[in-house]
Structure 1
Amino acid sequence: MKDLLRAHFEKIITLTDSEFEYISSHFTHKKLIKHQFLIQEGETVKNEFFVLKGCLKSYMIDSDNKMHVLQFALPDWWISDYHALYKQVPSSLYIDPVESAEVLVISLEDKEKLCNELHKVEHFFRKKTNLGYVGLQQRVLGLINTDARDRYEQLIKQYPALFQMVPKQLIASYLGVTRETLSRLYKNPK
């Protein structure tokens, strides 16, 4: 399983075996069953999670008890409540698996330690943060500038595996549409 982590790092940086062993020693492995929370609203967040297997969702529940999915995380992706993690405020999100999943867990403290000790690790996380920010910006712009059909077709094109793993109700929530609207889009592609 740590082969996936090494391959992930080595998309951006080159590591020796001893460097990777040192880095990987700061991660712990965790198996999750469907709906087992990694993070719940109101909790203190101390960790970031690298997905090895399965699919996780990050979401909030509004005052009308409606779920709003912010992110899905597939293998080779990172997930956490970053606002709570970096600002050390209570979490406003829930994170749990859509299906059984496995993650590698690193604490913020260990991540900062690795970044201080190894410049290339700091470089890696800076690049990942920048790419995550770009992705978030594109998602927000897509919600503002595109209609439901375009958002749906973009999601299918970008992440076809998601439609095999994730119930349509969650995809509808992610796209900001009702389940009925998603069904119409699904039945009547362009």
Structure 2
Amino acid sequence: MSQILRQQIEKITPLTDKEFEYILSHFTFKKLKKHQFLIQENDTVQNDHFVVKGLLKAYYVNHEGKEHIMQFAMEDWWVTDYQAYFNQTVATLNIDCLEPTEVLCLSIHNREKLCADMHKIEHSFRKKSNLGYVALQRRILSLLNSNAKERYEQLLQQYPTLFQRVPKTLIASYLGVSRETLSRLSS
């Protein structure tokens, strides 16, 4: 189970067994059912979550009740409400499970402790954060500059397995189009 976390870290920096045991000792394990919330709006956000198994969606509900999907998170991905996690404020996002899910949870305290104790893990977290910034910028630019068909094709190319795991209504919400538009794009 924890091997997937080790593999992710070792894409950036090698670890000894002892180093990985120390890193892993700072995480807690959580198992969730399909449709269970990992985080709900107005919750205090204690942890960042590394997805070991399953699929989640992070979304915002606007004042009109419309759901806007910010992110899907599957195996080998991290997910939380980062604004609330790093600022230690309440969540503005909801994160719930689209499938039965297992996550490794890392508190902000334990993250800071790990980073202070191990340059390797601090380096790994920084590199992963940088990749996240790049992905976020790409997503924003895609929403600003690409039409629905281009966004659909980009998502299909980047994450082909997502289309087998996520209902089309959620893919449409993520792309910012109606279900009907998505049906036209995918035919």
Given the two structures, how large is their TM-score scaled by the length of structure 1?
0.97
State the shift of 1:65 in Å. Answer: 1.1
1:129 alignment partner in structure 2: 129
Equivalent positions of 1:148-187 (< 5 A) are 148-187=148-187
Equivalent positions of 1:1-190 (< 5 A) are 1-187=1-187
CA distance in 1, matches of 2:100, 2:165: 11
State the shift of 1:152 in Å. Answer: 0.2
State the shift of 1:35 in Å. Answer: 1.3
Q: Deviations over 1:6-39 (max 9, x none)?
A: 1011000111100000101111111111111111
The 3-state SS of whatever aligns with 1:90 is: coil
Please list every run of at least 4 consecutive aligned residues from structure 1 whose deviation after the TM superposition is greater than 6 angstroms. none
Structure 2: stretches of 5+ with no match in the other structure? none
CA distance in 2, matches of 1:87, 1:118: 23
Q: Deviations over 1:120-170 (max 9, x none)?
A: 110000000110000000000000000000000010111011001111111
The 3-state SS of whatever aligns with 2:38 is: coil
Q: Deviations over 1:107-127 (max 9, x none)?
A: 111011000000111000000
The 3-state SS of whatever aligns with 1:177 is: coil
CA distance in 2, matches of 1:44, 1:3: 29
The sequence identity of aligned pairs, in percent, is 60
The residue identity in structure 2 corresponding to 1:142 is S
State the shift of 1:62 in Å. Answer: 1.1
**C-alpha root-mean-square deviation of aligned residues, in Å?**
0.7
CA distance in 2, matches of 1:54, 1:17: 26
Structure 1: stretches of 5+ with no match in the other structure? none
The residue identity in structure 1 corresponding to 2:92 is S
State the shift of 1:46 in Å. Answer: 1.2
Given the two structures, how large is their TM-score scaled by the length of structure 2?
0.98
State the shift of 1:87 in Å. Answer: 1.4
CA distance in 2, matches of 1:107, 1:36: 20
